[in-house]
Amino acid sequence: MGQGCRIQRMSDNFTTTQSIEAFLHSLQAQNFSGNTIRAYGDDLRQFAVWGASIRVDFDNPKRMSRMDVDGFMLVLSGKKLTGVTRVRKLAAIRKFFGFLETNKVLSTNPATTVIGARREEKEPSILFKEQYKALLYEASEDTRDYAIIMTFLQTGIRLSELSNLKMEDIDFENRLLTVRQGKGKKDRQIPLVDEEVKALRNYLHYRATELILDDDILFLAKNGTSLNVSSVKAIVAKYVKKAGIRKRVSVHTLRHTFGAHKADKNMSLATLQALMGHKKKETTLKYIHLARTNLRKEMVETAL
């Protein structure tokens, strides 16, 4: 369903707040991911709150102009937000105004010609072999936490994808992990290596002895319910600290580590792209660069 398909009839007296909600409903109908819809909603509500603080008529979407968008972008630059974050917020505003234009609320999209911030070219951080080995060692006493970190390192899945894993997604007979409706709304399958199979089997043996309230969810919290993304982040941060790793490490660092090490082992670009669920091969190409720079640096630092 395209953006031009009207999810509900938009009234002439819709407020900005009501228009935002109608726009978010349209994204849901177009099968956008929950994460994308939440991010757009947060960005647009921030824009609306800012606008209401400077103009009494800002809750009328017909009164919005390019100057409003430029003003909001200027305020964001003063908050020292990254260029990537500001570009994302501008994209949300553009799409929202495009929705209003399509539904005849606005005659033109006032954000079309707004110039976005420059994106920072930051090289993703990865873990060297001795670092991810230390991370696994520190987590080895907890079968669940060890399986979580092992899964990130051996499959390269995203944080949201791990949190959404279900029992049925693990196929031990064929040694496959199925990531359902990952980013881009496309399922993919990832082969499981011996270390990952062993970690998951040990965890499932432990899981069977614990309180279970969400039967179908793979990784559970201690209270037997599904493990949310904040808890997973805290688990990784806990072992990063225990392992004495001083660089900034996030859950996504583990995904970058998977991609860089696979590229270093000469995995084909097409295979790596499929495993990581990238839409564009240019995204996957970055891992070849990471392998050639960061892993070469590791060889120098660990030379005998």
Residue numbers annotated as active site:
158, 183, 252, 255, 278, 287
Q: Residues 6 or more apart from 214 whose CB is under 8 A from it? A: 220, 224, 225, 226
With residue 178 as reference, give the H or E element that holds it: strand 176-179
**Structure-token pair, residue 297:** 């640096």
Distance in angstroms (rounded) separating the CA atoms of residues 133 and 120: 30
189: left (phi over 0), alpha (psi -120 to 50) or beta: beta
**Structure-token pair, residue 5:** 């398909």
Q: What is the DSSP letter of 129?
A: H
177: left (phi over 0), alpha (psi -120 to 50) or beta: beta
Q: What is the DSSP letter of 123?
A: P
**Chain CA centroid to CA 294, Å:** 23
Q: What is the DSSP letter of 60?
A: S
**Structure-token pair, residue 115:** 């110039």
Distance in angstroms (rounded) separating the CA atoms of residues 194 and 154: 10
Helix 16-29 and helix 83-102, axial crossing angle in degrees, nearest 10: 90
